[in-house]
Amino acid sequence: MTTPGRLHNLVAIVTGGGSGFGESICAAFAREGARIVVADLNAANGERVARALQAEGGEAEFCRTDVGKSVEMGALVSAALARFGRIDIMVNNAGMSHPNRPMLEVTEEFFDRLYEVNVKSLYLAAVHCVPVFRRQGGGGFINIGSTAAVRPRPGLAWYNGTKGAVILLTKSMAVELAPDKIRVNAINPAIAETPLLTTFMGAPDTPENRARFLASIPLGRLCRPADVANAAVFFADPASEFITGTCLEVDGGRCI
């Protein structure tokens, strides 16, 4: 007899599921038996990930979503309910950054979009998911923060600020939503091997440039998508039911 996965029968939405951490979270959740809605602005990547999950025998659907727009987040939640009848976990992973550069070189237009995608998305996820979680008697948010909020690097000022907001919102939401059995946790990854890497470096991904970042990570390597996915499985697993408001560094010791 095979044991059911740790997320057996749970339904998860993963924003930014078409690439990087999100793609890895989708794969790990599906392996543990969850049914997944892959939400992404990039339809080609989101559909590719959903098809790959289906090919492995998982139940998955893609929903093209801009997480900064209320109408689209509402449609995402409706699509998940129409397909699977419930939502147990909302992973707020979609995010972006300005390239590493002096703070005054980031335009106001870019700043507004950055806060829309990285911060307003948490508000919109709450607006559309909390009523569903309350009706169901519980649910969980997993927010992807960053070590940028704990040990900020120069050149990423406004991005760092968005992740600071993610951490404080995680704790604020956790304390307010606890009576509804809604858990809210965050993961703070260190700089990782994803398509965002060169944006954060502000330079090409050469061995010399990598070495500068590796020098600041005691375990001596960059974060990998699977590191973040494993932490997300932990927070989604009902076995962590007593854990809320936790912001977990997955950073090889960067924040020590």
Ligand X SMILES: NC(=O)c1ccc[n+]([C@@H]2O[C@H](COP(=O)([O-])OP(=O)(O)OC[C@H]3O[C@@H](n4cnc5c(N)ncnc54)[C@H](O)[C@@H]3O)[C@@H](O)[C@H]2O)c1
User: How many degrees, rounded to 5, is the angle at CA 110 between CA 74 and CA 13?
Assistant: 30
- Residue 67 binds ligand X (CB under 6 A): yes
Angle between the 225-236 and 20-31 helix axes, to the nearest 10 degrees? 50
Number of shown-chain residues binding ligand X (CB under 6 A): 30
What binding mask, one character per residue, do residues 22-61 give for ligand X by CB under 6 A, x or -? x-----------------xxx--x----------------
Count CB neighbours of 90 within 10 A.
Answer: 32
Pick the closer one to ligand X by CB: 23 or 32: 23
- Residue 93 binds ligand X (CB under 6 A): yes
Pick the closer one to ligand X by CB: 90 or 192: 192
Catalytic machinery residues: 159
Q: Which residues contact 242 (CB under 8 A, 6 or more apart)?
A: none
Pick the closer one to ligand X by CB: 139 or 189: 189
Q: Which amino acid is at 40?
A: D
Q: Which of residues 116-155 bind ligand X (CB under 6 A)?
A: 117, 144, 146
d(CA 122, CA 118): 8
Q: Which residues make up the interface to ligand X (CB under 6 A)? A: 15-16, 18-22, 40-42, 45, 65-68, 93-96, 117, 144, 146, 189, 191-192, 194-197, 200
